[in-house]
Structure 1
């Protein structure tokens, strides 16, 4: 988000991304965007969340909000799926959805790394207890979210947690 001078530029990009995802939801043009064959709203939620992150980041003047939300959503949630599939250790079910401890660990550790970096960049201090609590909450939200709504729940939990973490 540091590449844009004003809010209209990233909003335009995220709006275009949303339009592409809406079209693809109705008419699957880009098969690589969808994760599975079941109709879920993850791609649309992802696009909407990026728009929300842009608005909150630019509105608050704290662009690290966008960093925290998008990196935990993109890398943490993305790695959780990859790691959980590649190394399916500790299988469990939440609300009828299959999860793995290895996948949940991936989002947990990515959340810690992102929150530590953002906290240090913002206030030059890190409260590891708060960071671990927020990472655990983010991991829980990812585990219980259904219909791809983790793409909204994870970053919103992360940015609310980030705001708490930086209040020393």
Structure 2
């Protein structure tokens, strides 16, 4: 491992460590609920994909990290390594699926030199789902049910807005403010919102990022065909 890669990897590890310290402090020293601690980890850790993109972290390193964290999350279901991570009063493999989605999207888009699609998918899950849960729990005055799971229209609207905005911002940085950027962002935001509504066993942590990235990629392949 060369010096540059070592320095970049160290920054990624430092960021993850900082997120962990913040979450542990919330759990230990405040009255934050287990769900809030989990969302802090969810949002904080997800932003590591931006560091991987900006620093051009090699695909093999991202995939290796995904495998290691996937194994760690499975272990945490038997041995509570991080209090509050999975103690949210419901059976879920969401954290495991979340870690797996990193590896899948890096393995897919890094070799294509299109890492921004992986960023789109993962940040929609990171911020869209995270903010939707927070808004829904605090201000969700209009509930609805999907397959026995309770959601709120306030949370779903937050997911749609956040997902569309994230997709738009990432594509804007890559292809500019063309009409395709707006259309793809809107479609991706709406579809991922529908997928997030079905979150049984935490499967949305896999379906939302993969579908968000795939739809953005496929739509752009079709819409950006040269005239």
- Per the normalisation by structure 2, the TM-score is 0.69
Structure 1 match to 2:74: 22
Structure 1 match to 2:84: 32
Contact kept, 8 Å, 1:116 with 1:126, in 2: the verdict is no
Which moves more between the two structures, 108-117 or 9-18?
9-18
Contact kept, 8 Å, 1:49 with 1:152, in 2: the verdict is yes
- Equivalence map 1:13-162=2 (5 Å): 13-34=65-86, 36-124=88-176, 125-127=178-180, 128-162=182-216
For 1:137 and 1:16, locate their aligned partners in 2 and report how far apart those are by CA, in whole Å: 30
- How many residue pairs get aligned? The number is 168
For 1:116 and 1:38, locate their aligned partners in 2 and report how far apart those are by CA, in whole Å: 33
Please state how far the C-alpha of 1:95 moved relative to its aligned partner. 0.6
Could you list the structure 1 runs, at least 4 aligned residues long, displaced by more than 4 angstroms after superposition: none
Contact kept, 8 Å, 2:184 with 2:216, in 1: the verdict is no
Which segments of 5 or more consecutive residues in structure 1 lack a partner in the other structure? Answer: none
Contact kept, 8 Å, 2:62 with 2:102, in 1: the verdict is no
Match of 2:200, SS state, is coil
For 2:118 and 2:126, locate their aligned partners in 1 and report how far apart those are by CA, in whole Å: 11
Q: 1:97 to 1:35 in 2, by over 3 A?
A: farther
Deviations 1:14-70 (A, max 9, x none): 222112101101222212221622221101111111111111121221010221011
Match of 1:98, SS state, is strand
RMSD: 1.6
> Which has the higher Rg, Structure 1 or Structure 2?
2
Which segments of 5 or more consecutive residues in structure 2 lack a partner in the other structure? Answer: 1-51
Deviations 1:73-121 (A, max 9, x none): 1111111111100111221111101100111111111111111112222
- Per the normalisation by structure 1, the TM-score is 0.91
Higher relative contact order (CA 8 A, sep 6+): 1
